[in-house]
Amino acid sequence: MVGAAHAEATTSRYYPVAPGYQVNVRSGPGTGYSVVRVLPEGSKVPIYCQTPGTSVTGPYGTSNIWDNVSNGQYVSDAYVNTGSDGYVADRCS
């Protein structure tokens, strides 16, 4: 069973952004970083790793967790429905 659990953990999972929101994707884990693109309503994003940053209040509460969704691209976890108030992926190194 250990092998099956490990294989499941490495599978990419996509998480939906909050319905009705266009979400800024930033160049780093905080609101002080530049916006590199905007996710349209109804987007789903992969979370490669997570890191602490600027605290943001959104539809899923207030969080200082930022989700790495692409190389050098982050969104606030307060706008992503991960089903958890905590970390759901490894910490970014």
- Residue 8 Cα distances to 4, 16, 55, 64, 89, angstroms: 6, 19, 30, 27, 13
**Across 49-77, average pLDDT:** 97
Give the confidence band of 93 by pLDDT, cuts at 50, 70, 90.
Answer: confident
- Assess contact for 30 and 72: CB atoms under 8 A: no
Q: What angle do CA 78, 20, 62 make, to 5 degrees?
A: 15
Alpha-carbon torsion 64, 5, 72, 60, what sign? Answer: negative
CA separation for the pair 47, 15 (Å, rounded): 8
- Assess contact for 77 and 66: CB atoms under 8 A: yes
pLDDT in tens, 2-46: 444 444 444 568 999 999 999 999 999 999 999 999 999 999 999
Taking the model in full, what pTM does it have?
0.86
